[in-house]
């Protein structure tokens, strides 16, 4: 990667000194200097998260609060999801849309009763916050929280580890959360993540983030994990990366994200439509044959890694789509990918060809996740 120009110095997270101390290879990501891997390397970090517990610094992400009696109804005008009906103590996946129905960003939101707590992607947070303020700032308070760090502890040992430091977190189930304390530091913890494993995301004040991270790393099961393994883990789980697999030119139905649009917001629902691009999106849900392209999972039949933005062709050599994320799955030891293909080729089991350095690599459309998820549902 080219060095940043002096005019745009990289931001750092509250754990920057710790990453350097741990020997991380730092790279520019979303305007921040971030650890892509530690000395153990991507493969070891990936496998450790799948077998024990991995600690991720995701403090580059945006945290904000929406406050006021009208906050849920206001936020619902920006997304095709059920915000009003989300119970206190619960989290949900959301999609900010532009007026054409394209995805501005994907996010997580949580009903804390006193407010709606929102986590958005790091690369999008400045634009997201401006968009939310512009659209609904007159209906509720929009309060960015740049003073908060964010850690993710992921893997089958995550609950055992975190409950040692923060008793009570083990009672949470997937997509729930609450307020906790550790040595007088206020923590907001959800049982969720971006790896397909059981795990937690922990919001902590920047002044206590390093101390808390060190306490977690002192546990025998925990190792630090960089962005490289974060990417391979999320891809095995079939989860989208904003900017690769979804963007402002992609609608939720094209992105195979209809599961994120609850019935209450669909045609015939109690609060159908009323979000940006609703006519287009609801038509695509109601008449899936009108979709020109769709996001699919692909598994290669040969052990040749297929990376974005590789072209996809049919047997006749015609272009039918492209890879948006691809790598050799450390868990499966097979190349996996997410891609957009013409709808006629989107059925599981369909064989298509990826073009890698001029060579055809046969791939098969596959259901995702590629690796079964281990979310704790109680």
Q: Annotated binding residues for substrate, as ranges?
A: 201
CA atoms within 13 A on the CB side of 286: 13
Which residue ranges are tagged as binding site? 201
How many beta carbons lie within 10 A of that of residue 312, not counting itself? 25
């Amino acid at each position: 990667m080219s060095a940043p120009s002096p005019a745009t110095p990289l931001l750092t997270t509250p754990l920057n000194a710790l990453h350097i101390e741990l020997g991380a290879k730092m790279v520019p990501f979303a305007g921040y200097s971030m650890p892509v891997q530690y000395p153990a390397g991507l493969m070891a970090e990936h496998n450790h998260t799948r077998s024990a517990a991995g600690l991720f610094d995701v403090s580059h992400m945006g945290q904000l609060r929406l406050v006021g009696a009208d906050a849920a109804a206001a936020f619902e005008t920006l997304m095709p999801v059920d915000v009003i009906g989300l119970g206190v103590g619960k989290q949900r996946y959301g999609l900010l849309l532009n007026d054409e129905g394209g995805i501005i960003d994907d996010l997580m939101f949580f009903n804390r009763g006193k407010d709606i707590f929102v986590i958005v992607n790091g690369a999008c947070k400045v634009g997201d916050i401006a968009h939310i303020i512009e659209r609904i700032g007159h209906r509720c308070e929009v309060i960015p929280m740049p003073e908060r760090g964010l850690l993710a502890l992921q893997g089958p040992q995550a609950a055992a580890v975190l409950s040692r430091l923060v008793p009570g977190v083990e009672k949470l189930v997937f997509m729930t959360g609450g307020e906790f304390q550790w040595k007088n530091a206020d923590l907001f913890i959800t049982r969720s993540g971006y790896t397909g494993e059981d795990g937690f995301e922990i919001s902590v004040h920047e002044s206590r983030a390093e101390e808390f991270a060190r306490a977690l790393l002192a546990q025998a099961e925990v190792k630090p994990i960089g962005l490289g393994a974060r990417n391979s883990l999320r891809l095995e789980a079939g989860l989208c990366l904003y900017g690769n697999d979804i963007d402002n030119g992609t609608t939720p139905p094209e992105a195979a994200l209809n599961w994120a649009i609850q019935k209450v917001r669909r045609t015939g629902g109690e609060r159908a439509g009323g979000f940006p691009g609703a006519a287009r999106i609801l038509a695509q849900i109601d008449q899936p044959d009108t979709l020109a392209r769709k996001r699919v999972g692909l598994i290669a039949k040969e052990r040749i890694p297929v990376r974005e933005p590789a072209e996809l062709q049919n047997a006749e050599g015609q272009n039918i789509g492209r890879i948006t994320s691809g790598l050799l799955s450390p868990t499966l030891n097979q190349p996996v990918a997410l891609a957009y293909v013409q709808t006629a080729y989107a059925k599981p089991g369909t064989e298509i060809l990826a073009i890698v350095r001029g060579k055809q690599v046969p791939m098969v459309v596959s259901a995702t996740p590629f690796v079964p998820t281990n979310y704790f549902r109680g």
